[in-house]
Amino acid sequence: MAINFTKDIEIEKSKTSKIENVDFNNLTFGSVFTDHMLVCDFENGKWKSPKIIPYQPITLAPSSKIFHYGQSIFEGMKAYKDTENNVFLFRPIDNFKRLNISAKRLAMPELPESYFMDGLRELLKLEKDWIPRAEGSALYIRPFMFATGEGFHASPAVAYKFIIACAPSGSYFSGKVKVLIEEKYSRSANGGVGFAKAGGNYAGQFYPTQLAKDRGYQQVIWTDDNTHEYIEEAGAMNIFVRINDTLLTVPTSDRILDGITRKSIITIAEAEGINVEVRKIKVTELIEASENGSLKELFGAGTAAVVSPISGFGYKGKDYELPQLENTYGALLKKRITDIQTNKTDDPYGWRVKVD
Ligand code: PLP
Ligand code: COI
């Protein structure tokens, strides 16, 4: 059912604000939350009218299926402010579409577009003051949906909750990012849910990532589940490799998330005249390129991490260092994308969406 948001949305404003307690110049990632959230329930086969209410705990029955069968999906996006306090989103419709791709795969109900897009706009109107302006920070937005319906029967729930919560955030990583190329564990498999932003995909990464952390690496580079010969993704980022002057990234598949940052970087790099190749990348190709000096850069790309350079990688007990270049593709592409996101340059692609 189409709803008129400005008419139908119920807004309960918070009586107090936590904003005074936040140091906007020293933000970490996703650890303080704004005053309000959008909530919307799916019951009896349909979505009810969304509400914006004070950010608060939610009560769930112990038999809610989220706890047992993990029907839980999410999105990650950011709101940016320019120097005149105008507010922008970046390709938000792509997040909306991906949420519904995830919903379908997890047998969850799809959300109507206006609930997501107009709901987000209404929420951002209230939370405008929470959008940081400091370089490298933004308001991280977390839309998510999970099964509230009860029952121990292993089948899809009949009730769900959709929430949008926000957290003013700084960089995702602090310090250098060294990665371990995974030889044993897998994040996803053919025919699985790797392309969806399903909570369980991340839970499954924590143990192998902790093992990598114990060995001094911050992230894992996942390899294909079948042979572990090809690189796929880096933790919560898509992966880019620069060999000589060619920028490589791997094709998306049902094992890999179709990252919005990834596809934007490909477009921007091509517009910059950089030769981009989207193809499978063998671990041995990385090793050889590292050994013969043609491996120039390795970086991850994602909403939370933006563009994060990788300083080195480990494989089969050996560490490989990346060279310290002056002018990197990573730095150039990060500047180009953040300049578009924060309204510092023209946006020839129509990606930036102003929130009035
Ligand atoms: N890959 C995974 C597994 C992720 O969780 C993310 C983060 O959203 C990405 C890639 C990057 O996607 P996007 O650029 O759309 O944020
Ligand atoms: C994002 O980049 O928005 C993500 O969703 C990654 C998240 C796991 C922090």
Which pLDDT tens digit goes with each residue over 157-192?
999 999 999 999 999 988 789 999 999 999 999 999
151 to 58, 59, 61, 70: CA distances (angstroms): 19, 16, 10, 13
Provide the CB-side half-sphere exposure for 87 (13 A, CA). Answer: 21
Does the pLDDT at position 2 exceed 80? no
Partners of 329 in the β-ladder: none
The bound ligand whose nearest atom lies closest to the alpha carbon of 171 is: 2
Q: Tell whether ligand 2 has an atom less than 6 A from the beta carbon of residue 167.
A: no
- Euclidean distance between CA atoms 348 and 131, whole angstroms: 24
- Euclidean distance between CA atoms 224 and 304, whole angstroms: 24
Partners of 155 in the β-ladder: none
State the Cα angle at 112 between 9 and 341, rounded to 5°.
85
Best mutation site among 303, 306, 308, 341 for ligand 2 pocket (most ligand atoms within 8 Å of CB): 303
- What number is the average pLDDT over the span 320-348? 97
- Atom 3 of ligand 1: nearest residue by CA position: 236
User: Is residue 88 very low, low, confident or very high in pLDDT (cuts 50, 70, 90)?
Assistant: very high
**For residue 114, what pLDDT is reported?**
94
Give the helix ranges, DSSP H, for the chain: 5-8, 65-69, 92-105, 113-127, 199-214, 260-271, 283-292, 329-341
Its pTM stands at: 0.97
- What number is the average pLDDT over the span 328-352? 98
**For residue 174, what pLDDT is reported?**
81
**For residue 17, what pLDDT is reported?**
97
State the Cα angle at 11 between 8 and 15, rounded to 5°.
170
**For residue 5, what pLDDT is reported?**
59
Domains of the chain: 10-171 (3.30.470.10), 177-341 (3.20.10.10)
- What one-letter code names the amino acid at 298? L
Q: Where would I find the beta strands (DSSP E) of the chain?
A: 10-11, 36-43, 46-47, 51-54, 72-74, 77-81, 87-90, 138-147, 160-169, 177-181, 219-223, 231-234, 237-243, 246-249, 275-278, 295-302, 306-315, 318-321, 352-355
- Euclidean distance between CA atoms 319 and 24, whole angstroms: 37
Quick one: which atom of ligand 2 is closest to the CA of 75? 5
Query: Could you read off the pLDDT of 104-142 as tens digits, one per residue?
Result: 999 999 999 999 999 999 999 999 999 999 999 999 999
Q: Output the average pLDDT for the chain.
A: 96
For residue 251, give the nearest of 232, 268, 269 by alpha carbon: 232
- Euclidean distance between CA atoms 309 and 328, whole angstroms: 9
Longest dimension (CA), the chain: 64
**For residue 235, what pLDDT is reported?**
84
- What number is the average pLDDT over the span 317-329? 96
Question: Structure tokens of 206?
Answer: 């924590």
- For the CA atoms of 354, 5, 93, 143, the dihedral, rounded to the nearest 10 degrees, stands at 100
State what percent of residues in the chain have pLDDT above 70: 98
- Euclidean distance between CA atoms 98 and 105, whole angstroms: 11
**For residue 175, what pLDDT is reported?**
79
Query: Could you read off the pLDDT of 3-62 as tens digits, one per residue?
Result: 565 567 899 999 999 999 999 999 999 999 999 999 999 999 999 999 999 999 999 999
User: Is residue 1 very low, low, confident or very high in pLDDT (cuts 50, 70, 90)?
Assistant: very low
Query: Could you read off the pLDDT of 271-287 as tens digits, one per residue?
Result: 999 999 999 999 999 99
113 to 40, 218, 257: CA distances (angstroms): 13, 36, 21
> Using a 6 Å CB cutoff, which residues line ligand 1?
76, 233, 236-238, 257, 259-262, 302-303
**For residue 172, what pLDDT is reported?**
93
Does the pLDDT at position 261 exceed 60? yes
